[in-house]
């Protein structure tokens, strides 16, 4: 990813359309390889994603959200062995999901108008072994499997999605 950042660092106002397209592709590749569907080192992009960017119109019709979610699910399945400690996927998506479904892993906010990141995570385990132990000790009642059961949220979701 460093090569992409160095080669396509800035786009001038007087750049040609070809340069703008190359710059856009470089930004998308960096997003895919560094954030959405990275490898463990976060410095390589699979050839299949590069080939999808040949035609921007076709790439715009792809369901990228589905691909990111499918990649996350596949990686979660691969990460289930106890000796596995690393995962390659969009972990911020997993973190957001965990915050909704596992209330005991949410940051603690002491004051309703401030969110101090450092103190809000005090008491939440950070090592893989401690997190696994915490999850193993919880019963099903501790998990919130339908975080959207608030009637205000249901009111804006069309019935066809339930």
User: What is the pLDDT at residue 11?
Assistant: 84
Q: What is the pLDDT of residue 122?
A: 60
CA angle 149, 77, 160 (to 5 degrees): 30
Whether residue 106 sits in one domain with residue 61:
no
List b or e across 110-128, with b for residues whose CB sees 16 or more CB atoms inside 10 angstroms: eeeeeeeeeeeeeeeeeee
Q: Is 38 exposed, middle or buried (0-12, 13-18, 19+ CB in 10 A)?
A: buried
For the chain, how many structural domains are there in total?
2
**Tens-place pLDDT, residues 114-152:** 555 555 556 677 777 887 788 888 877 777 666 667 788
Is the pLDDT higher at 153 or at 76?
76
The per-residue pLDDT for 162 is 58
- Which tens digit of pLDDT belongs to each residue from 57-68? 888 888 888 888
Is 33 among the domain residues? yes
- Indicate whether 95 belongs to any domain: no
């Amino acid at each position: 990813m460093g090569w992409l950042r160095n080669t396509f660092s800035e786009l001038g106002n007087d750049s040609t359309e070809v340069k703008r397209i190359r710059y856009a592709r470089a930004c998308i590749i960096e997003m895919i390889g560094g954030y959405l569907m990275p490898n463990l080192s976060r410095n390589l992009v699979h050839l299949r994603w590069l080939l999808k960017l040949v035609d921007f119109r076709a790439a715009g019709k792809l369901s990228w959200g589905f691909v990111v979610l499918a990649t996350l699910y596949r990686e979660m399945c691969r990460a289930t062995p106890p000796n596995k400690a690393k995962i390659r996927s969009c972990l911020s998506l997993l973190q957001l999901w965990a915050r909704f479904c596992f209330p005991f892993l949410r940051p603690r906010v002491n004051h309703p108008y401030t969110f101090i990141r450092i103190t809000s995570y005090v008491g939440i385990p950070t090592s893989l072994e401690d997190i696994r132990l915490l999850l193993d000790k919880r019963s099903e009642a501790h998990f919130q499997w339908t975080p959207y059961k608030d009637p205000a949220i249901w009111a804006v979701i069309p019935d066809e999605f339930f």
